[in-house]
């Protein structure tokens, strides 16, 4: 009986320690978060970036696949494996934002997310558009094998609400309509095949 009571008390402690979303605060912030007109007006630049990427998608995947090695803990070896998507994020002069520490594997980790990790003859055109848009309108993008492009326009932390806010542009892929009132996400079509998404959620702590 004593063991049962201790187990029950431990269960209550675990439940009480679970994080509970502040839905009311998140909903208020979500309702106050609007689409950025400057982003919408920059659609031609995003479209130019998309055209470059799609023109060379096979070359980009071949380049990144050849450098994509996965470590297998059971064998202690790395093997080359093709991936379904790759991330390409811009530095904007802040090296630590693409680094995960100061260890010997940092360069590899940076390469996994750096926009510079693409064929050298493609990068200058991509770099030029990133500079035209600036860090307030593009942080990076994810390129999928099916040619979907997800551009992270901006992502920031709201300390007052302890919440994360994200603005994303998606080319090609269409997501299901959100019908969950406590899942704070909405999108709108701003041009053919271009969807503008906004989301708000609890801060994830990283």
Residue keyed to tokens 């064998």 = 75
Mind listing the pLDDT tens digit of every residue in the chain (206 residues)?
A: 444 333 433 443 343 345 578 899 999 999 999 999 999 999 999 999 999 999 999 999 999 999 998 889 888 899 999 999 999 998 765 544 444 555 666 666 677 888 999 999 999 999 999 999 999 999 999 999 999 999 999 999 899 999 999 999 999 988 888 888 888 999 999 999 999 999 999 987 65
Q: Is 178 helix (H, G, I), strand (E, B) or coil?
A: coil
Q: With CA atoms as reference, report the closest residue to 154 among 14, 70, 38, 12.
A: 38
Is the distance from CB of 56 to CB of 161 less than 8 angstroms?
A: no
Closest CA to 36 of 164, 126, 155: 155
In a domain, 11, yes or no: no
Q: In this predicted structure, what is the pLDDT of residue 175?
A: 83
Q: Give Cα 60 to chain centroid, integer Å.
A: 19
pLDDT of amino acid 108 = 64
Split into its structural domains, the chain has a count of 1
Q: Are 126 and 116 in contact (CB under 8 A)?
A: no
Does residue 16 form part of some domain? no
The domain containing residue 158 runs over which residues? 24-202
CB 177 within 8 A of CB 91: no
Does 85 fall in a domain? yes
Check if the beta carbon of residue 152 is closer than 8 Å to that of residue 127: no
Q: What is the pLDDT of residue 73?
A: 86
Distance CA 159, CA 164 (A): 9
**Is 147 contained in some domain?**
yes
- The H or E element containing residue 164 is strand 163-171
- Note whether residue 134 is domain-resident: yes
Supply φ then ψ for residue 113, to 5 degrees.
-125, -5
Whose tokens are 């848009």? That residue is: 133
Q: Tell me whether residue 77 is in a domain.
A: yes
Instruction: Report how far residue 2's alpha carbon sits from residue 46's, in angstroms, rounded to the nearest whole number.
Output: 65
| pLDDT for 146 | 96
Note whether residue 6 is domain-resident.
no
- Which of helix, strand or coil describes residue 92? coil
Pairing of strands 140-144, 85-89: antiparallel
Rounded Cα distance, 109 and 99, in Å? 7
End-to-end CA distance of the chain: 42
Q: Do the domain assignments include residue 19?
A: no
């Amino acid at each position: 009986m004593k063991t049962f009571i201790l187990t029950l008390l431990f269960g209550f402690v675990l439940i009480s320690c679970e994080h509970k979303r502040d839905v009311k605060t998140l909903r208020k912030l979500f309702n106050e978060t609007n689409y950025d007109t400057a982003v919408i007006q920059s659609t031609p630049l995003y479209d130019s970036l998309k055209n470059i990427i799609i023109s060379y998608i096979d070359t980009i995947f071949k380049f990144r696949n050849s450098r994509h090695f996965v470590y297998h803990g059971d064998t202690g070896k790395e093997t080359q494996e093709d991936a379904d998507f790759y991330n390409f994020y811009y530095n904007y002069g802040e090296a630590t934002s693409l680094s995960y520490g100061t260890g010997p594997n940092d360069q590899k980790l940076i390469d996994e997310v750096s926009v510079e990790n693409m064929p050298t003859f493609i990068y200058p055109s991509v770099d030029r558009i990133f500079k035209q848009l600036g860090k307030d309108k593009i942080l990076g993008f994810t390129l999928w094998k099916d040619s979907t492009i997800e551009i992270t326009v901006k992502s920031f932390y709201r300390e007052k609400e302890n919440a994360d806010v994200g603005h994303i542009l998606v080319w090609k892929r269409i997501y299901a309509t959100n019908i969950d009132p406590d899942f704070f996400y909405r999108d709108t079509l701003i041009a053919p095949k271009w969807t503008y998404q906004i989301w708000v959620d609890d801060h994830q702590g990283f």
